[in-house]
Amino acid sequence: MAYVITDNCLKDELCVDVCPTDCIHPKKDEPEFEAATQMYVDPEGCIDCGACVPACGSDAIFVADEVPEDKKEYIEKNAAYYKK
Alpha helices in 19-70 (DSSP H): 52-55
Amino acid sitting at position 57: G
DSSP state of 66: G
Give the tens place of pLDDT for each residue, 19-78. 999 999 999 999 999 999 999 999 889 999 999 999 999 999 999 999 999 999 999 999
**pTM to 2 decimal places:** 0.92
In the predicted structure, residue 15 carries a pLDDT above the cut 80: yes
In the predicted structure, residue 1 carries a pLDDT above the cut 80: no
Question: Which CATH number applies to 3-81: 2.60.120.10, 2.60.40.1930, 3.30.70.20, 3.90.1150.10?
Answer: 3.30.70.20
Helix (H, G, I), strand (E, B) or coil at 4: strand
For the chain, the structural domain boundaries read 3-81
State the pLDDT at residue 43. Answer: 86
Which residues does 37 contact at the CB level (< 8 Å), separation at least 6?
A: 7, 9
